[in-house]
Amino acid sequence: MRNVPRLLINTPDIEIWPGGLLRARSNHDARLLSQASHVLRRKRDGRYLAVQLPHGLMPLVSRLQAEPGIEPAMVALDATLATPARVPPPEGELPLHQLQQRLDQLGLHSTRYASHTGLWLIAEPAHLHLAGFDRYRRPLWLTRGASRAWQRMQHTASLDGIALEAISGYRSHAYQLGIFERKLARGLDVAQILTVNAAPGYSEHHGGNALDISAPDAPAAEESFEHTAAFSWLQRRAGDFGFHMSYPRDNPHGIVYEPWHWCFRRTTP
């Protein structure tokens, strides 16, 4: 099997993962994943749909061709297989036309929400790059620019005796909707959730440029992170690498103070 670039191919309903990064859920999965160059994974629930093997595509669900979004996913997979690994994919974004349905499910009016918060809709990238692994040994996906900047920043911090850990990076619209659904099931209402989480489509994590950062001895996504040496270092140096804290205290978006949330902002075209 030829080398596969560490690249996530993103389509509206299905992600195409490079082989070797997904966890097996059974012995059968383990055998197939060990041979696969790519894995088609349903975004809304993480279900493995098919694997690309040396001899062709093997479905892992019945009626693969009836899966929502399978046609654009197959087009993207064919284009990936036909492109030499050394050729970087073009930058691009996914359309936002499916997002309104997700917002309707939450009873959120997108124009009113955007006007109230000052947040804007953020499209998902068509391609994401492997930036390493997070605290939980999950693949960390970011845009090309954010991936390179994060790796440089993490390395520079280590030279200064500071360990920076990623907690999470890219999240899909479907993942953000799942956060809301789980919290609604626990008895919270949408207004309460919106004080902590941006509405689906409005989180900086969707764009593949945002990182939640912590330190090895600090809890994840807690305000106490501001008292760590890692946070002090980020305050001094993160801007040198294009990262900025998005939600300081009393931010105009109505989101709680998040000293752990940093976003890469491209400084050159």
Same domain, yes or no: 78 and 103: no
Same domain, yes or no: 140 and 242: yes
Task: Give the residue from 51, 82, 113 where a domain finishes.
Answer: 82
Same domain, yes or no: 158 and 184: yes
Same domain, yes or no: 227 and 113: yes
What pLDDT is stored for residue 25 in this prediction?
Answer: 84
Q: What single string gives the DSSP state of each residue in 45-102? A: T--EEEEEETTEEEESSTTGGGSTTHHHHHHHHHHHHHS-TTSPPPP-B---TTHHHH
What pLDDT is stored for residue 26 in this prediction?
Answer: 87
What pLDDT is stored for residue 5 in this prediction?
Answer: 56
Whether the CB-CB separation of 9 and 77 falls below 8 Å is answered with: yes
- Please check whether residue 259 lies inside any domain of the structure: yes
- Can you give the residue range of the structural domain that contains 235? 99-264
Question: Going residue by residue through the chain (269 aa), what tens digit of pLDDT does each one get?
Answer: 344 458 999 999 999 999 999 999 888 889 999 999 999 999 988 999 999 999 999 999 999 999 999 999 999 999 999 988 778 888 899 999 888 877 887 888 888 899 989 999 999 999 999 999 999 999 999 999 999 999 999 999 999 999 999 999 999 998 888 888 889 999 999 888 888 888 999 999 999 999 999 999 999 999 999 999 999 999 999 999 999 999 999 999 888 899 999 999 976 43
Find how far residue 2's CA is from the centre of its chain.
26
**Nearest-angstrom CA–CA distance, 101 and 120:** 17
Asked whether the whole model's pTM tops 0.75, one would answer: yes
Alpha carbon distances (Å) from 232 to 51, 217, 226, 229? 44, 15, 7, 5
Same domain, yes or no: 124 and 61: no
Whether the CB-CB separation of 17 and 81 falls below 8 Å is answered with: no
- CB contact burial 59-76 (16+ within 10 A = b; e otherwise): ebeeeeeebebbeebbeb
Which tokens in the block code for residue 241?
């690498």
Amino acid (1-letter code) at residue 183: K
What pLDDT is stored for residue 166 in this prediction?
Answer: 98
CATH of the domain at 108: 3.30.1380.10
What pLDDT is stored for residue 224 in this prediction?
Answer: 97
- Please check whether residue 183 lies inside any domain of the structure: yes
